[in-house]
Amino acid sequence: MPTLLQEPLLGFSSPSPHHPPVPGLNRISEINSTSLSALEDLQELDLGGQHVRLVIRNNAFSGQRLLRKLVLDITD
């Protein structure tokens, strides 16, 4: 099953590259070291409200030097 991050995430139009719009329901199953590689300027990431099990691999955020807010709220 492909993850949302393997889909063309940058296909969304956005007034700001730092706050791209995302779907309201997260169905991201895995984030690995290359998942966010094209988003070096990412400052905030909300992974809360997952509707599938999320696996975060080693070095998943190693390229996000500007990331200042990461939300990992768990919902059942």
Q: How many CB atoms lie within 10 A of CB 36?
A: 19
Cα 37 from Cα 39, distance rounded (Å): 5
Per-residue pLDDT tens over the stretch 27-76:
889 999 999 999 999 999 988 888 888 899 999 999 999 999 999 887 65
Q: pLDDT of 17-41, one tens digit each?
A: 556 665 566 788 999 999 999 999 9
Residue 66: what are its φ and ψ, rounded to 5°?
Answer: -95, 0
Token pair 């998942």 in the structure block, residue? 35
At residue 49, the pLDDT reads 80
What is the C-alpha to C-alpha distance for residues 72 and 62, in angstroms, rounded to an integer?
17
Mean pLDDT, the chain, whole residue set: 76
> In the chain, what percentage of residues exceed pLDDT 90?
41
Pairing of strands 30-31, 55-56: parallel
